[in-house]
């Protein structure tokens, strides 16, 4: 109609286009993987593939006929489930008690630092956990294990530590959301603090805690690198606590690099099976967390108050000693969680920092072919290149999708539901599946060999859900009054969004960006077969291959020749990731302050 109207319309179309990009990404992942896995099911047989317990890949493509290799993933399905259960028993239980400890027993002074420490656990790259497993856990286990310590126990311990922060933070949130009136009610009936906590508060947060455990399961199922480094990876059933076994994710990592035709199809099919597992878990999570919210609101609405009271009284009649045991466990787990993190960091720094000082060539040296000295400078450059490009792609797409969802649509429209589902699905896809997808699409499209461009594209899809969700959170927290104010002055929607809404949401968006940077730096599974994993010279451009820092750590620790260098690389990785976490926190709170217009200080002019 006119200039302004045209601009409005163009804006809306641009935002919508980005939302469509998100849908396309999900559809592409599913379609590509499914289509590529069909030949495997056809050649190997659906039943034989899923329930065969012999995985002995062979070169079918060379011998043509008959199928000389055998592809059954049942051992790995069992292995994956066993490792997940193990992680849940160790990490889930510890996490549960740690959350109770933090919410109800922790001395006030310790609460903040402890929560921060546990959150830091979430930021540590999974290769670092795996590396810690190799250099710390396995040697200890091998003193009494029949083998070198690899197997179910080591895997469960490492996975347990990895899911700890997820379980703790979510459980703690739901425990703290229980109305205080319950606690008061219980103590008014004569319960002690401990008893009130375990008989009333914890049961009231039950569904939230269950949701946190399920989220932990999802994380354990999809974890790749850390497991690869401590599980042993022989394609057999896990037997006992020790003994090499393989999980689904590991299968892909172990063999994708040199897979023949059928083998590759079988690996992609493995990825599809993994994806289905994770999707099921996510569905369960959504069902339960939805219920959790509903339950709390229903209870506080007063409708079920009588039932709550009744439940309270019944719960209070539990035998007395149980809560006391729980209290002890809560203390023990809380302290253990903190010690676990500090010991991981302490150990790696103790071993790695001296190398950094003694061998500056590691950081600043020049790569020479055949030389015994390794340098991680090319890896640092590759990492920076991937971070830059992936954010350049993911941030605009993610932010614009979030704006479209939050500013232009109503929640009940079908399109929005599709976009939201797409984002939820993306969030659940294990990182190795992204790697697989990137390998069979981007790598094949661009140059055919691993290259940083393909790696960046792959990981940018992986970043989308985080960026969309946190941008949406910050958009939601912008007061509605500001939008009304702008519209009431005759400003169009586009101007309102760009000039009023976005600036207010900036702190949240920025911190999401920084955390995404941390995520790119700490991921390794999506890069192995997309960006490349060979430690070599400086990448010559985006279409050259290069190993990122996390991938370099995996390589260095896997070969056993460069353990000192691996320690040093781990230290660098941890420092960068933790620094980014602090930066995110700092920037968002500083900006928040500036936007809120601190009165003090400015008046004194």
Partner 1 sequence: MARKQDRIGEGYGGEIALQNTKLGYGKTDLLQRAKEKGFVQKAAVSADEAFDGTIVVKDANLWYGSFQALKHVSVEIPNHKTTALIGPSGCGKSTFLKCLNRMNDLVPECKVDGSFRIGNRDIYGKIDVNLLRKNVGMVFQKPNPFPMSVYDNVTYGAKTFGIRKRSELDEIVETSLKQAAMWEELKDRLHQSALGLSGGQQQRLCIARALAVKPKVILMDEPTSALDPISTGKIEELCKELAKNTTIVIVTHNMQQAVRISDRTAFFLLGELVEFGDTEQVFHSPADERTSRYVSGRFG
Of the pair 415, 446, the CB lying nearest partner 1 is at: 415
Q: What is the CA radius of gyration of the chain?
A: 26
Q: How far is the CB of 491 from partner 1 (least distance, A)?
A: 4
Q: How far is the CB of 595 from partner 1 (least distance, A)?
A: 5
Measured distance CA(218)–CA(355) in Å, rounded: 37
Host H or E run for residue 542 = none
Q: How far is the CB of 497 from partner 1 (least distance, A)?
A: 13
Selected from 107, 302, 490, 560, the binder of partner 1 by CB under 8 A is 490
Give yes or no for a contact between 154 and 133, defined as CB atoms under 8 angstroms apart.
yes
The string of DSSP codes covering 154-201 is HHHHHHHHHHHHHHHHHHHHHHHTS-HHHHHHHHHTT--HHHHIIIII
Selected from 487, 578, 583, 587, the binder of partner 1 by CB under 8 A is 487
Selected from 82, 241, 279, 482, the binder of partner 1 by CB under 8 A is 482
List of residues 6+ apart from 375 with CB closer than 8 A: 361, 362, 363, 364, 365, 366, 367
Binding mask 586-605 for partner 1 (x = CB under 8 A): --------xxxxxx--xx--
DSSP 257: G
Tell me if 188 contacts partner 1 by CB under 8 A.
Answer: no
Tell me if 66 contacts partner 1 by CB under 8 A.
Answer: no
Give yes or no for a contact between 102 and 174, defined as CB atoms under 8 angstroms apart.
no
Q: How far is the CB of 420 from partner 1 (least distance, A)?
A: 17
Cα end-to-end distance, the chain, whole Å: 49
Of the pair 190, 490, the CB lying nearest partner 1 is at: 490
Tell me if 491 contacts partner 1 by CB under 8 A.
Answer: yes
Residue listed under structure tokens 């455990």 = 213
Selected from 147, 358, 479, 589, the binder of partner 1 by CB under 8 A is 479
Residue listed under structure tokens 């190398």 = 355
Half-sphere exposure of 85 (CA within 13 A, CB side): 9
Binding mask 90-129 for partner 1 (x = CB under 8 A): ----------------------------------------
Give the burial string for 357-379 (b: 16+ CB within 10 Å, else e): eebeebeebebeeeeeebbbbbb
Stretch that binds partner 1, among 89-97, 150-158, 320-328, 491-499 (CB under 8 A): 491-499
Q: How far is the CB of 330 from partner 1 (least distance, A)?
A: 42
- Residue 18 CB coordination number (10 Å): 21
Show the tokens assigned to 398. Answer: 């993610």
Selected from 1, 62, 357, 414, the binder of partner 1 by CB under 8 A is 1
Of the pair 180, 488, the CB lying nearest partner 1 is at: 488
Show the tokens assigned to 476. Answer: 């939601």
- Residue 51 CB coordination number (10 Å): 12
Helix axes 563-596, 108-123, angle to 10 degrees: 120
Cis peptide bond N-terminal to 66, omega within 30: yes
Q: How far is the CB of 561 from partner 1 (least distance, A)?
A: 56
Helix axes 431-438, 206-222, angle to 10 degrees: 40
Stretch that binds partner 1, among 105-113, 264-272, 391-399, 484-492 (CB under 8 A): 484-492
Binding mask 493-512 for partner 1 (x = CB under 8 A): --x---xx--xx--------
Of the pair 100, 501, the CB lying nearest partner 1 is at: 501
Give yes or no for a contact between 406 and 423, defined as CB atoms under 8 angstroms apart.
no
Give yes or no for a contact between 201 and 102, defined as CB atoms under 8 angstroms apart.
no
Q: How far is the CB of 414 from partner 1 (least distance, A)?
A: 15
Choose among 330, 342, 279: nearest CA to 105.
330
Host H or E run for residue 442 = none
Of the pair 7, 59, the CB lying nearest partner 1 is at: 7
Torsion of CA 553, 559, 560, 566, to 10 degrees: -10
Of the pair 113, 503, the CB lying nearest partner 1 is at: 503
Stretch that binds partner 1, among 129-137, 190-198, 207-215, 476-484 (CB under 8 A): 476-484
Q: How far is the CB of 410 from partner 1 (least distance, A)?
A: 5
Tell me if 301 contacts partner 1 by CB under 8 A.
Answer: no
Tell me if 484 contacts partner 1 by CB under 8 A.
Answer: yes
Selected from 66, 302, 481, 560, the binder of partner 1 by CB under 8 A is 481
Choose among 200, 222, 214, 177: nearest CA to 288.
214
Of the pair 289, 504, the CB lying nearest partner 1 is at: 504
Q: How far is the CB of 508 from partner 1 (least distance, A)?
A: 13
Q: How far is the CB of 486 from partner 1 (least distance, A)?
A: 7
- Length of the chain as a residue count: 605
Q: How far is the CB of 407 from partner 1 (least distance, A)?
A: 11
Of the pair 216, 507, the CB lying nearest partner 1 is at: 507
Binding mask 399-418 for partner 1 (x = CB under 8 A): -----------x--------
Selected from 45, 304, 492, 537, the binder of partner 1 by CB under 8 A is 492
- Total residues interacting with partner 1, rule: CB under 8 A: 31
Of the pair 81, 498, the CB lying nearest partner 1 is at: 498
Host H or E run for residue 500 = none
Measured distance CA(547)–CA(537) in Å, rounded: 10
Q: Which positions lie near partner 1, rule CB under 8 A?
A: 1-4, 410, 479, 481-492, 495, 499-500, 503-504, 594-599, 602-603
């Amino acid at each position: 109609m006119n200039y302004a109207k045209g601009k409005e319309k163009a804006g809306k179309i641009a935002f919508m286009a980005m939302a469509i990009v998100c849908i396309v990404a999900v559809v592409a992942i599913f379609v590509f993987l499914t289509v590529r896995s069909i030949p495997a099911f056809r050649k190997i047989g659906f039943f034989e593939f899923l329930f065969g317990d012999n995985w002995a890949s062979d070169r079918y493509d060379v011998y043509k006929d008959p199928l000389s290799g055998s592809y059954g993933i049942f051992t790995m399905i069992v292995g994956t489930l066993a490792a997940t259960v193990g992680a849940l028993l160790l990490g889930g239980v510890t996490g549960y008690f740690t959350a109770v400890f933090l919410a109800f027993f922790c001395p006030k002074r310790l609460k903040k630092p402890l929560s921060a420490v546990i959150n830091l656990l979430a930021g540590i790259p999974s290769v670092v956990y795996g590396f810690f497993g190799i250099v710390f856990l396995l040697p200890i286990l091998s003193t009494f294990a029949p083998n070198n310590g690899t197997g179910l126990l080591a895997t469960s311990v490492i996975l347990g530590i990895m899911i700890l922060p997820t379980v703790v933070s979510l459980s703690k949130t739901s425990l703290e959301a229980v109305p205080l009136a319950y606690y008061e009610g219980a103590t008014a009936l004569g319960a002690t603090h401990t008893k009130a906590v375990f008989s009333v508060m914890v049961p009231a947060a039950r569904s939230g805690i269950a949701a946190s455990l399920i989220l932990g399961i999802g994380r354990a199922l999809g974890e790749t690198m850390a497991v690869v480094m401590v599980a042993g990876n022989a394609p057999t059933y896990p037997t006992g606590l020790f003994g090499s076994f393989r999980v689904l994710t590991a299968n892909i990592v172990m063999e994708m690099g040199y897979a023949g035709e059928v083998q590759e199809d079988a690996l992609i099919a493995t990825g599809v099976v993994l994806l289905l597992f994770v999707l099921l878990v996510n569905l369960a999570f959504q069902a339960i967390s939805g219920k959790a919210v509903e339950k709390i609101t229903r209870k506080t609405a007063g409708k079920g108050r009588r039932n709550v009271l009744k439940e309270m009284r019944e719960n209070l009649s539990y035998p007395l000693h149980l809560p006391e045991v729980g209290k002890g466990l809560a203390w023990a787990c809380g302290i253990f969680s903190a010690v676990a993190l500090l010991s991981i960091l302490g150990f790696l720094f103790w071993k790695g920092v001296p190398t950094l000082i003694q061998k500056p060539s590691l950081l600043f040296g020049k790569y020479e072919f055949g030389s015994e000295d390794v340098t991680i400078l090319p890896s640092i450059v590759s990492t920076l290149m991937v971070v830059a490009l992936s954010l350049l792609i993911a941030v605009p797409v993610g932010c614009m999708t979030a704006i479209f969802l939050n500013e232009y649509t109503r929640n009940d429209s079908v399109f929005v539901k599709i976009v939201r589902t797409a984002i939820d699905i993306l969030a659940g896809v294990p990182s190795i599946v992204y790697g697989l997808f990137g390998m069979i699409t981007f790598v094949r499209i661009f140059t055919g060999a691993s290259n940083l461009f393909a790696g960046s594209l792959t990981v940018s899809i992986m970043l989308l859900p985080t960026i969309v969700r946190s941008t949406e959170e910050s958009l939601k927290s912008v007061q509605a009054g500001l939008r009304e104010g702008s519209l009431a002055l005759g400003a169009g929607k586009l101007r309102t969004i760009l000039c009023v809404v976005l600036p207010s949401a900036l702190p949240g968006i920025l911190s999401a960006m920084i955390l995404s940077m941390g995520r790119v730096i700490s991921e390794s599974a999506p890069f192995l077969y997309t960006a490349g994993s060979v430690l070599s010279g400086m990448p010559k451009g985006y279409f050259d291959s290069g190993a990122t820092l996390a991938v370099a750590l995996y390589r260095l620790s896997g070969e056993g020749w460069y353990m000192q260098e691996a320690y040093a690389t781990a230290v660098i990785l941890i420092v960068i990731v933790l620094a980014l976490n602090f930066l995110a926190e700092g920037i968002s709170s500083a900006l928040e302050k500036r936007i809120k217009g601190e009165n003090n200080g400015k008046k004194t002019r």
